Amino acid sequence: MFSAQFAVSPADGPIAVTGASGYIGSWIVQDCMEQGYEVRACVRDKNNPDKVEHLLDLNYDGMRGSVSLYEADLFKPGSYDEAFKGCAAVIHAGATVGFNKETPQEVYDGCFKENAHVIESVKRSGSVKRFVFTSSFAAVSHPRPEGYVFTEKDWCGDNIEAYKGRWSEEQIPENRDIAYAMAKANSEKLIYAEAEADGSFEALAILPLHVVGPLIAPNHDQPWSWQNHIKGMMLGKAYRGGREGRMLWNAADVRDVARAHRLSIETTIGTNGSRYIMAAPDRSGEMYTWQLQALLESMYPMVDEIGGEPMEEDMPVKATYDAPRAYCLLAMQELGLEPFDIETTIRDTVDSYYSLGIIGADG
Ligand SMILES: NC(=O)c1ccc[n+]([C@@H]2O[C@H](COP(=O)([O-])OP(=O)(O)OC[C@H]3O[C@@H](n4cnc5c(N)ncnc54)[C@H](OP(=O)(O)O)[C@@H]3O)[C@@H](O)[C@H]2O)c1
Q: Which residues line ligand 1 (CB under 6 A)?
A: 19, 21-25, 43-44, 51, 73-75, 93-97, 99, 110, 134, 136, 208, 210-211, 220, 222, 225-226
Question: What local confidence, expressed as pLDDT, does residue 165 receive?
Answer: 82
| CA gap 147, 34 in Å, rounded | 38
Residue 362 in domain: no
- Residue 293's Cβ-count burial label (10 Å; 0-12, 13-18, 19+) is buried
What is the domain extent for residue 37?
3-213+251-281+325-340
Chain segment 27-65, per-residue pLDDT in tens: 999 999 999 999 999 999 999 999 999 999 999 999 999
Q: Which atom of ligand 1 is nearest to the CA of 18?
A: 34
pLDDT of 363 over the 60 cut: no
338 close to 259: Cβ distance less than 8 angstroms: no
Distance CA 21, CA 67 (A): 12
Ligand 1 centroid from CA 313, angstroms: 40
What span, in angstroms and rounded, lies between the C-alpha atoms of 200 and 128? 8
Q: Residue 295: inside a domain, yes or no? A: no
Distance CA 155, CA 207 (A): 11
- pLDDT tens across 281-291, in order? 999 999 999 99
CATH of the domain at 33: 3.40.50.720
- Whole-number Å distance between alpha carbons of 208 and 25: 13
Ligand 1 centre distance from Cα of residue 4 (Å): 29
Q: What percent of the chain has a predicted confidence (pLDDT) above 90? A: 90
pTM: 0.97
- Identify whether 21 is part of a domain: yes
Q: Is residue 13 part of a domain?
A: yes
Asked if residues 291 and 229 have their Cβ atoms less than 8 Å apart, the reply is no
Residue 36 lies in a domain: yes
**Dihedral of alpha carbons 82, 121, 258, 288, sign:** positive
Sign of the dihedral defined by the CA atoms of residues 119, 125, 131, 135, in that order? negative
Backbone angles phi and psi of 126, in degrees to 5:
75, 5
pLDDT on residue 96: 86
Distance from the CA of 22 to the center of ligand 1, in angstroms?
6
For residue 111, is it within any domain? yes
Ligand 1 centroid distance, CA of 217 (Å):
14
- Quote the ligand 1 centre to 166 CA distance (angstroms): 26
Inside any domain, residue 98: yes
> Between β-strands 248-253 and 286-288, what pairing exists: parallel, antiparallel or unpaired?
antiparallel
Whether 112 maps to a domain, the answer reads: yes
Helix (H) or strand (E) holding 203: strand 202-208
Number of domains the chain is built from: 1
The pLDDT score that the predictor gives to residue 362 is 52
